[in-house]
Amino acid sequence: MAARRARSGPRCVLLEGTGTGALGVGRKEYAITEDGKAELRSWLTGTPPTTTRRSDTLLRVFFLGRLTRLEAVTYLEAEASRAAARRTAFQEMEESIDWDEGPLSVYGRIVLEYGVRQSVMHEDWARWAAEHVGALDESADAPPPGPEAPAP
């Protein structure tokens, strides 16, 4: 058995081995070591999560005023459709898993529900934004003056 670090999340030390247990012959089984448990506890209780400071979607939305209303509305409607597809995928995943009362199921469902709710919010917001942009008057179709088009 060899110890190694996990590739994502906290850097927990894992034991790697082969076994004939529930995973079948020749399948690798992993178990957390005592050092790994201590590091996981430290990561969960002592390190605040990092937050993403940049959203590619919102950066693009910020610049939608450089497009026509139709192009902006089309972009926002596509955002709503992508969010709806993510929601559907999360819901299908939830239905396909044989959940039980164990911690993996409890916390797995909590994470999955976050994805569902976030995609619902994203879809609602994108549809609201598309309606808002679509209702702008015709002067909104003219991109604001910029370096390539000086104001008259």
Calculate ∠ Cα 89-93-94, nearest 5°. Answer: 120
- pTM of the predicted structure, to 2 decimals: 0.69
The Cβ of residue 50 has, within 10 Å, a number of other Cβ atoms equal to 6
Asked whether residue 16 carries a pLDDT value surpassing 50, the answer given is no
Cβ distance 88 to 115 under 8 Å?
Answer: no
pLDDT top residue among 4 and 47: 47
pLDDT of 6: 47
pLDDT digits (tens, 9 = 90+) for 56-99: 999 999 999 999 999 999 999 999 999 999 999 999 999 999 99
pLDDT: is 25 or 137 the higher one?
Answer: 137
Nearest to 123 by CA among 88, 70, 81, 92: 81
> What pLDDT score was predicted for residue 120?
98
Predicted confidence (pLDDT) at residue 129 exceeds the cutoff of 50: yes
